[in-house]
């Protein structure tokens, strides 16, 4: 209706101009230059602005002060969801990479290698945190050609450790030689652990998580009568399938719980240490033999542990150094972590290695570890009997594992990007710097004389369903380098070219408080930067490492770059909001005074690699606050914007939910589905979405709280009450069949 009025106005204006002269030739029937001809859809902008200033810079300066950098290696080898890399004892000529879906790949240890062959292929259950999780070559691999593989299979899921032997002199492992060593029935699909390694004592070690369902309500971590939540140690060179080392904690007083059981009538002889939540990647120091592990936390803390014989590491009574639940176990009996860190810095620790190579002498004897969610790499700094951590590099990668070569050099496995990197000298000894200027006015993305206004090369936009930001109002712009364009996938997701920048201003009570820049650097990596506005509203200053401030009556979080990475996920294409369905609506372009469809406008000014054509052929998403739109569509749009960047296939959460707007409700794994990360005290009736019952819906409970169990999990201290009401109304309207 609005467009029809505009066309009528154009026609009347042209008619009056022809009748009354209008200062021009009365025979000229062309409309004024700033308006479209009759029957032509209106666009908000006439031409694409030139952008020479707001272009993402090189990240080279970000490594200038770091002790390490990452160097891509074996780029010619195509890998699918790599989880680990290792070499066989005494063989420096090959690398082996485990892919989550069940394949072990092997390739030559040469820089320009382009082919990898299959070393072993298994049928696994790779749902959520399952899959091919670990492999250890027997210390005598060169002569017995045995390797021990850890994986999950079957439905319900079962964890398996099996021995395989090579029948072709080590070229491959022969699947038919499988001999199961140990099986554990898994209650859920997350918290598997699954790493295996031979210790300096020649025994096989395995680390298992608590089996999932957040919070470990069954108490597996403290239950020594089952094998979950524990480090195990067995001797695989004696009687089949294994024997118990004589000094295991319960070797003489307990019972053998394997090879096919979880729970027994007594303490399990296989246990070496217990009280673990999800030991994700651990290793032996090749010099001292000490066992170092990263244990993934629950809601608030991640930890690094030094695992000792008979140690109880506290879960589920302790999360890091903090009390977790009303546990009666004496806390003096727990082994405290070497260090813990909270979820402002990361949310899924990846254990690493003590560096024993020769290329980085400054790191000799230093333990390195990372966080999968944020891609940050730290070192431990020892101060007497205590440790602190020092950040070495913010990589932005999904670091699933480190790898250690036989020469002691360390590597990084990027699960998200399917790439391998070597840790090399970064050329300095301090903390990483930033590639962007300290002052917003110097970034080239704003008017330097008035930084509250965008630079001339930026294009305004707004998604139909905006992300909840604690009541702040927001303005958004995008910029891509001249000569480049945006590609649009079949699902409507935008892929921005290298050099792109997206800028967002936040206001509370009308005052600018923060400006965020989300940049795709020339190497293709995305990174976020945030600026805090001064009280005079004249400029904003870069915030490094994140900070929390009090603004008015509320707490406001300025996110670190690592926190940005937690929401701007690879699975979601990194950029959020700028997608076809979100921009397929009218928007007011203040520079021209026109109201026009955003997709049509961007198409008109040649922003897309391939023209989109009529927006009617593109998906549409409603504004959740638009009560004229159907209730179900509004609620699904809300979940898409606020939740689906993580809760979708390939997302970083252990949940199998898919909350994208385009996914049928019956296919979301949320409607009438039992919660996978605790019921928040709701009880047996709890469902992620309980049709007809908001009070039994864990999804509503999480959105309606701002503690460690709340959603979103960071950068919000204020509940979106309108959003909660919308979800409650929608769930009330749902039938038992999720319609």
Q: What is the pTM of this model?
A: 0.64
For residues 112-126, give the mean pLDDT: 97
Q: Residue 654 and residue 678: Cα distance in Å, rounded?
A: 12
pLDDT of residue 64: 38
pLDDT computed for residue 220 by the predictor:
92
Asked whether residue 623 carries a pLDDT value surpassing 60, the answer given is yes
Query: Measured between alpha carbons, how far is 19 from 443 in angstroms, rounded to an integer?
Result: 51
| Same-domain pairing of 615 and 639 | no
> How many domains, in total, are found in the chain?
4
Phi then psi dihedrals of residue 672, to 5 deg: 60, 25
Question: pLDDT of 75-84, one tens digit each?
Answer: 999 999 999 9
* Predicted local distance difference test score (pLDDT) of residue 435: 85
What angle in degrees, to the nearest 10, is found between the helix axes of 631-643 and 721-733?
Answer: 130
Q: Domain check: are 603 and 633 in the same one?
A: no
Is 294 in contact with 367 (CB distance < 8 Å)? no
Q: Is the pLDDT of residue 60 over 90?
A: no
Domain termination site, one of 382, 399, 425:
425
The pLDDT of residue 181 is 97
What pLDDT score was predicted for residue 98? Answer: 98
Same domain, 96 and 210: yes
Rounded to an integer, the average pLDDT of 23-47 is: 60
Report the percentage of the chain scoring pLDDT > 70: 92
The residue from 570, 588, 621 where one domain ends is: 621
d(CA 55, CA 171): 49
Structure tokens at 89: 């004892």
Contacts of residues 444-449 at CB distance under 8 Å and 24 or more positions apart, as own/partner, are: 444/53, 444/54, 444/55, 445/53, 445/54, 445/477, 445/479, 445/501, 445/503, 445/517, 446/503, 446/515
Tokens, residue 645: 């960047």
**What is residue 66's predicted lDDT score, i.e. its pLDDT?**
54
- Residue 137 has a pLDDT of 98
Which residue range is the domain that position 147 belongs to? 66-425
Cα three-residue angle 66-532-625, rounded to 5 degrees: 120
Span 583-614, pLDDT tens digits: 999 999 999 999 999 999 999 999 999 999 99
Highest mean pLDDT among 152-161, 379-388, 557-566, 674-683: 152-161
Q: Helix or strand or coil: residue 565?
A: helix
- Average pLDDT of the residues in 385-412: 94
Task: Please determine, for residue 182, whether its predicted confidence score (pLDDT) is greater than 50.
Answer: yes
pLDDT value at 272 more than 50: yes
User: Could you tell me which residue, 650 or 63, shows the higher pLDDT?
Assistant: 650
pLDDT for residue 128 is more than 50: yes
Query: Which has more confidence, 180 or 188?
Result: 180
Same-domain status, 326 and 458: no
User: Does residue 61 lie within any of the structural domains?
Assistant: no
pLDDT surpassing 90 at residue 39: no
User: Is 104 in the same domain as 180?
Assistant: yes
Confidence band for 658, pLDDT divided at 50, 70 and 90? very high
166 & 240 share domain: yes
Q: Is residue 56 part of a domain?
A: no
Same domain, yes or no, for 567 and 683?
no
CATH at 93: 2.120.10.30
Residue 51 lies in a domain: no
Flag whether 45 is in a domain. no
CA distance 8 to 12: 6
Same domain for 597 and 659:
no
| Residue 677 confidence (pLDDT) | 75
In a domain? residue 47: no
pLDDT reading at 30 higher than 70: no
Same domain (yes/no): 575, 458: yes
Task: Let me know if residue 57 belongs to a domain.
Answer: no
What's the pLDDT score for residue 431? 34
Q: Are residues 598 and 630 in the same domain?
A: no
- Rounded to an integer, the average pLDDT of 366-392 is 92
Check whether residue 714 and residue 645 sit in a common domain.
Answer: yes
The whole-number average pLDDT for the span 652-658 is 81
Average pLDDT, the chain: 90
The pLDDT, as a whole number, for residue 36 is 54
> For residue 53, is it within any domain?
no
pLDDT at 429: 37
Q: What whole-number percentage of the chain has pLDDT above 90? A: 77
- pLDDT number for residue 35: 55
Per the listing, tokens 């200027």 go with 437
Average pLDDT over residues 654-681: 89
295 plus 329 within the same structural domain? yes
pLDDT of 262 > 80? The answer is no
50 in any annotated domain: no
pLDDT classification of 723: cutoffs 50, 70, 90: very high
Peptide bond connecting 732 to the previous residue in cis, omega within 30 degrees of 0: no
Residue 565: the pLDDT is 79
Domain stops at, among 621, 654, 684: 621
Binned at pLDDT 50, 70 and 90, residue 361 comes out as: confident
pLDDT value for 65:
41
Q: List CB contacts of 539: < 8 A, sequence separation 6 or more.
A: 439, 440, 441, 451, 533
Q: What pLDDT was estimated at residue 625?
A: 97
Per-residue confidence (pLDDT) for residue 571, from 0 to 100? 85
The answer, yes or no, to whether residue 32 has pLDDT greater than 70, is no
pLDDT at residue 329, as a whole number? 67
Residue 476 has pLDDT above 70, yes or no: yes
């Amino acid at each position: 209706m609005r467009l029809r009025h505009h066309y009528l106005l154009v026609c009347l204006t042209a008619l009056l101009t022809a009748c009354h002269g209008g200062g021009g030739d009365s025979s000229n029937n062309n409309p004024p230059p700033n308006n479209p001809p009759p029957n032509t859809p209106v666009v908000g902008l006439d031409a694409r602005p030139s952008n020479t200033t707001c272009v993402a810079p090189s990240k080279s300066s970000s490594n200038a002060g770091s002790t390490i950098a990452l160097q891509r290696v074996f780029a010619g080898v195509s890998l699918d969801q790599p989880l680990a890399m290792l070499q066989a004892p005494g063989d420096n000529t090959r690398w082996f990479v485990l892919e989550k879906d069940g394949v072990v790949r092997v390739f030559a240890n040469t820089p320009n290698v382009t082919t990898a062959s299959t070393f072993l292929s298994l049928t696994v259950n790779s749902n959520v945190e399952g899959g091919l999780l670990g492999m250890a070559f027997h210390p005598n691999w060169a002569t017995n050609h045995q390797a021990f593989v850890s994986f999950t299979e079957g439905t319900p899921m079962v964890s398996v450790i099996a021995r395989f032997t090579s029948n072709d002199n080590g070229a491959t492992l022969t699947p038919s030689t499988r001999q199961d060593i140990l099986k554990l029935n898994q209650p859920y699909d997350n918290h598997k652990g699954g790493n295996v390694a031979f210790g300096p004592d020649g025994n096989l070690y395995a680390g298992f998580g608590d089996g999932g369902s957040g919070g470990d309500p069954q108490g597996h971590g403290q239950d020594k009568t089952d094998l979950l939540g524990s480090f195990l140690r067995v001797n695989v060179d004696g009687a089949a399938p294994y024997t118990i080392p004589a000094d295991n904690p319960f070797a003489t007083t307990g019972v053998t719980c394997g090879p096919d059981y979880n729970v027994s009538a007594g303490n399990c002889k296989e246990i070496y240490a217990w009280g673990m939540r999800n030991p994700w990647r651990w290793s032996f120091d090749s010099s001292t033999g000490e066992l170092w592990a990263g244990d993934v936390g629950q809601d608030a803390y991640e930890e690094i542990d030094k695992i000792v014989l008979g140690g109880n590491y506290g879960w589920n009574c302790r999360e890091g150094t903090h009390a977790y639940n009303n546990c009666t176990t004496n806390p003096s009996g727990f082994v405290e972590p070497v260090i813990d860190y909270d979820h402002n810095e990361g949310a899924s620790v990846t254990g690493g290695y003590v560096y024993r190579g020769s290329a980085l002498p400054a790191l000799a004897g230093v333990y390195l570890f990372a966080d999968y969610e944020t891609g940050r790499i730290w070192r431990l700094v020892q101060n007497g009997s205590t440790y602190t951590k020092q950040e070495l590099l913010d990589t932005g990668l999904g670091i699933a594992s480190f790898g250690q070569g036989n020469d002691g050099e360390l590597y990084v496995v990027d699960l998200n990007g399917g790439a391998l990197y070597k840790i090399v000298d970064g050329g300095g000894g301090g903390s990483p710097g930033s590639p962007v200027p300290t002052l917003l006015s110097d970034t080239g993305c704003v008017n330097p004389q008035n930084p509250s206004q965008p630079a001339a090369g930026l294009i305004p936009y707004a998604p139909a369903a905006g992300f909840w930001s604690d009541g702040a109002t927001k303005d958004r712009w995008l910029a891509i380098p001249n000569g480049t364009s945006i590609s649009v996938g079949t699902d409507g997701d935008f892929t921005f070219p290298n050099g792109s920048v997206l800028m967002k201003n936040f206001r509370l009570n009308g005052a600018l408080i923060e400006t965020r820049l989300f940049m795709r650097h020339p190497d293709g990596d995305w990174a976020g930067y945030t600026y805090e506005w001064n009280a005079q509203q004249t400029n904003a200053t870069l915030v490094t490492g994140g900070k929390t401030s009090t603004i008015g009556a509320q707490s406001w979080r300025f996110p670190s770059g690592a926190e940005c990475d937690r929401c701007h996920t690879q699975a979601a294409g990194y950029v959020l909001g700028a997608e076809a369905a979100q921009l397929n609506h009218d928007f007011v372009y203040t520079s021209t005074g026109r109201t026009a469809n955003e997709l049509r406008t961007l198409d008109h000014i040649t922003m897309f690699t391939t023209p989109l054509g009529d927006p009617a052929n593109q998906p549409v998403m409603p504004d959740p606050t638009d009560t004229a739109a159907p209730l179900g569509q509004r609620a699904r749009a809300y979940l898409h914007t606020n939740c689906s960047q993580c809760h979708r296939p390939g997302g970083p959460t252990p949940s199998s939910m898919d909350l994208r707007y385009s996914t049928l409700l019956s296919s979301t794994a949320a409607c009438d589905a039992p919660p996978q990360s605790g019921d928040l005290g709701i009880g047996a009736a709890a469902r992620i979405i309980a049709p007809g019952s908001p009070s039994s819906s864990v999804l509503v409970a999480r959105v309606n709280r701002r503690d460690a169990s709340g959603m979103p999990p960071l950068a919000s201290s204020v509940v979106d009450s309108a959003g909660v009401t919308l979800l409650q109304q929608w769930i009330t309207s749902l039938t038992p069949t999720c319609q």
